[in-house]
A and B are shown apart, each in its own frame.
Chain A
Amino acid sequence: MAKSPSRPAAKPAPAKKAATKSAPPALPNRERPDQPEPFDASKDELLQFYRDMLLIRRFEEKAGQLYGLGLIGGFCHLYIGQEAVAIGLQSALDGDKDSVITGYRDHGHMLAYGIDPKLIMAELTGRQAGISKGKGGSMHMFSVEHKFYGGHGIVGAQVSLGTGLGFAHKYRKDGGVCMAYFGDGAANQGQVYESFNMAELWKLPIIFVIENNQYAMGTSVNRSSAEDQLYRRGESFRIPGLQVDGMDVLAVRGAAEEALKWVRAGKGPILLELKTYRYRGHSMSDPAKYRSRDEVQAVRDKSDPIEHVKKLLEKQGVKEEAMKDIDKEIRKIVSDAADFAENSPEPEAAELYTDVLVETY
């Protein structure tokens, strides 16, 4: 029944054509970053990761508790579950010249950049000693000294602002790189793409970091994103993207090294998608009914970033006791921060009028 193909069957198919059928996808026509290798951490480095991630975990648990006691008000977005992202990435940065900017879920990034937990907690409780004198709150904290530029409450704004920080690094030729974090929700904001365009056009030194914790408040990535592989979102701007296991601090750190290599070589921006998960609701007042308790528990049991490092440390011969000591030490730092935050005075009434403008006119 079937007609024989018109081309002579006797001739062997050209080798080239046969090859195309089973060959791997064509190589991209432009340079791409290498696939990152997991970071080869020494025991001391692993211990530092453990300590740093644990500080974020315990700090956030305490913040949740203080919220429950009414000592923290308003919106409060916790970072529990995502610790490996901030620690893995920021441990690779040069704190003397590289800048960091993020959205409203910012406590973890501040702790990762070495900012005093007391000043952060006191800001959460709205006290004079807080890092913004109590006038910013959970979502609006900054430390110019640490090159941490916020702490921004408008979803996606930090991407354009971070592109400006990258612009400033390049303009001043200071060798710095900006790391701009945003979430899977912000990845659908228009200004993100306006920024991608300019960042690549002008080869700005910036690492765009999508912390994909799978839910934009209650909307899952699949329900909001036509292209749900978010690391591809830079492709039409020629920004290469890498997808990274955001629950594995070594994978994250490895990706950070690769990204920094790319950006510091003057090749322009790069996009990292960190697949991660938040254990708590979007904010303290989110009951998180859009996902099952089993889903959360499964991630906690199988992929917890801190438990992961703990196991690696055990393999390296670090004793349970030593890790308990670290935990105690961290709990002390956090409870001191909480005491400080609770006992510091509220801002003076006169603070109401300060810092509106820098100069007087």
Chain B
Amino acid sequence: MAIELKMPALSPTMEEGTLAKWLVKEGDEVKSGDILAEIETDKATMEFEAVDEGTIAKILVAEGTDAVKVGTVIAMIAGEDEDASTVEAPKAAPAAPAPAAAAPVDVPGEGKDVGRAESEAEITKHDAPPAKPRPSDPAIPDGTKMVTTTVREALRDAMAEEMRGDDRVFVMGEEVAEYQGAYKVTQGLLEEFGPARVIDTPITEYGFAGLGTGAAMGGLRPIVEFMTFNFAMQAIDHIINSAAKTNYMSGGQMRCPIVFRGPNGAASRVGAQHSQNYGPWYASVPGLIVIAPYDAADAKGLLKAAIRSEDPVVFLENELMYGKSFDIPDLDDHVLPIGKARIVREGADVTLVSYSIGVGVALEAAEMLAGEGIDAEVIDLRTLRPLDTVTVLESLKKTNRVVVVEEGWPTCSIASEISAVCMEQGFDWLDAPVLRVTNEDVPLPYAANLEKLALVDAARVVAAARKVSYR
């Protein structure tokens, strides 16, 4: 049977081209790999190779023809046992029916009302899979002893407990082993687990982030510590392109259960390159889990959950919080649900939403507001992706006012996202615009006074809460 040679598409966007030159003529024998013709696209001249063997029976489009549509039969090849002289050109195929779907007519001046009524559900619809029952923090049994622990120790205990329970879990990073951690978070781990599972790396973030990601693909459970997340900028390609996307790109067959952890956000007087909150960056990436706890109990319970998760997790700590002490329930296995915010302080008048170190700022502001008779509710998001919008919206329904407190830049921030969610899904409950109280929109300066001016503080939160309360 004769083979039809069709005008090929030679780039992702090509629809037609010029058949510039035939390099074969009727009667020529061709085999796969032979160049048959040159075809010009808008970008380049390309060679068109034979894939099949046979004899060129008919050339149907002459060289020099412009605007030959992709898919047009340009020649016929006779097969091995076929007489080339008897090959016929194909009958013209019926023209494809014109697309019938009528586009909706847009009448000028008649914008669709996006405000209310039956279309509202459609406008705010999220085509995500149906919601599953919401997790909640496990109840702490009555009489459980509370132990005062620093955030630093809580993180170490979380890793140690998970390493005891699962041989696949290991820690790697700069100074994590012999030095006991640049910020002493991995203190004691080398002694207990040995150098095969607590691994000092060279200063090579891109390399060891990739190595850890590959080890996770290969079935291990790496915890990769970045000395700070500022240095993870060198590794962000692996966090996003390799770790976050692989499960999706592989149709769900290749997992990447890894935890990238380390301090994030401004420390103290370390200047612009060492002071940045990457929460919004990572929280914008589908395929990642992003956690940013505030206190020690959440740090422990969420890091344990992160290590057990089948998904890649970015776990953002804060250097200024490492030495702070909190009560932790003395339980064998304190694990918290990922994706669930926590109401840290109940209140009725205004909702302060925050995460990480910002929660402390919000709590301080709530105390100050209480003195003025404003009863603030404080929500700790804890997980930035997936974001627990339900808890925020429930609180909004109660207080009708939201202020977001974020130790980070204002533009494209978590605060921006929370404002958008409140506007899209909670518009009817808002009595005032959502306000963002964040760091100033500048690189963080070194001078003590300027640094203080640049960072979010309780006084600014109080001012914003007053404003949305019209007081």
Contact = CB atoms under 8 A, between A and B. Distances in A.
Interface stretch (A241-249, A252-260, A285-293, A308-316): A285-293
Contacts, number: 214
Contact of B254 (A149, A293, A359): A149
Interface stretch (B124-132, B158-166, B397-405): B124-132
Interface string B43-65: 11111110100000000000000
B220 A201 contact: no
A216 B272 CA distance: 37
B8 A69 contact: yes
Nearest to B6: A69
A191 interface: yes
Given A172-B219, A287-B46, A353-B128, A67 B8 contact: yes
Interface in A135-190: 135-136, 140-145, 149-154, 157, 159-169, 171-172, 190
A293 B337 CA distance: 62
A197 B203 CA distance: 11
A359 B311 contact: yes
Which of A141, A293, A352, A357: most chain B CB closer than 10 A?
A357
Given A68-B9, A293-B35, A361-B338, A157 B220 contact: no
B207 A194 contact: yes
B411 interface: no
A198 B247 contact: no
Contact of A163 (B33, B214, B247, B257): B214
A20 interface: no
Interface stretch (B94-102, B176-184, B235-243, B437-445): B235-243
A279 B32 CA distance: 12
Contact of A70 (B71, B213, B255): B71
Contacts of B310: 358-359
Contacts of A142: 246, 249-250, 253-254
7 contacts: A61-B33, A65-B8, A136-B251, A166-B214, A191-B210, A195-B211, A355-B250
Nearest to B252: A355
Nearest to A197: B202
A161 B214 CA distance: 4
Interface stretch (A85-93, A110-118, A126-134, A223-231): A126-134
B70 A165 contact: no
Interface residues of A, number: 76
B409 interface: no
A157 B51 contact: no
B217 interface: yes
B206 A149 contact: no
Interface of B: 6-12, 32-33, 35, 43-49, 51, 70-71, 127-129, 132, 135, 170, 196, 201-202, 204, 206-220, 222, 237-238, 241-242, 246-255, 257, 286-287, 289, 309-311, 337-339, 383, 386
Contact of A157 (B129, B219, B237, B309): B237
A16 B215 CA distance: 52
Contacts of A356: 247-248, 286-287
B163 to A, nearest CB: 13
Which 10 A-B residue pairs are closest in the complex by CB-CB distance? A164-B214, A160-B210, A68-B8, A194-B207, A168-B218, A133-B251, A361-B339, A161-B214, A285-B11, A358-B310
Nearest to A147: B218
Which of A57, A75, A161, A360: most chain B CB closer than 10 A?
A161
A171 B210 contact: no
A145 to B, nearest CB: 8
Contact of A149 (B127, B218, B220): B218
B216 A353 contact: no
A198 B208 contact: yes
Contacts of B311: 357-359
B116 to A, nearest CB: 28
A85 to B, nearest CB: 18
Contacts of B10: 68, 284-285
Contacts of A69: 6, 8-9, 70-71
A125 interface: no
B169 to A, nearest CB: 11
Nearest to B383: A361
Contact of A279 (B33, B43, B206, B212): B33
Query: Interface SS of chain B: helix, strand, loop or mixed?
Result: loop
Given A73-B12, A154-B237, A164-B216, 19 more contacts: A57-B32, A61-B32, A70-B71, A132-B251, A141-B250, A154-B242, A157-B241, A161-B211, A164-B210, A164-B214, A167-B220, A171-B215, A172-B219, A197-B202, A201-B202, A287-B45, A353-B128, A355-B250, A359-B311
Which of B33, B43, B132: most chain A CB closer than 10 A?
B33
B83 to A, nearest CB: 21
Contacts of A165: 214-215, 217-218
Which of A61, A144, A164, A169: most chain B CB closer than 10 A?
A164
A195 B215 CA distance: 13
Which of B210, B211, B216, B247: most chain A CB closer than 10 A?
B211
Contacts of B383: 361
A168 B248 contact: no
Which of B47, B207, B252: most chain A CB closer than 10 A?
B207
Contact of B214 (A73, A133, A160): A160
A140 B250 contact: yes
Contact of A160 (B43, B206, B216): B206
A287 B47 contact: yes
A266 interface: no
Contacts of A167: 211, 214-215, 218, 220
B9 A67 contact: yes
A150 B71 CA distance: 32
A135 B251 CA distance: 6
Contacts of A251: none
Contact of A143 (B247, B253, B289): B253
Nearest to A194: B207
Contacts of B49: 61, 64, 280
B111 to A, nearest CB: 28
Nearest to B14: A285
Contact of B241 (A68, A154, A166): A154
A110 B53 CA distance: 26
A117 B292 CA distance: 44
Contacts of B338: 361
A354 interface: yes
A150 B246 CA distance: 9
Given A154-B242, A168-B214, A357 B220 contact: no
A356 B312 CA distance: 11
Interface in A99-130: 99, 101, 130
Nearest to A132: B251
B423 to A, nearest CB: 24
Contacts of A354: 252
A84 to B, nearest CB: 16
Contacts of B208: 194, 198
Contact of A75 (B12, B289, B337): B12
Contacts of A150: 246, 250, 254
B202 A152 contact: no
A62 interface: yes
A32 to B, nearest CB: 24
A95 B371 CA distance: 70
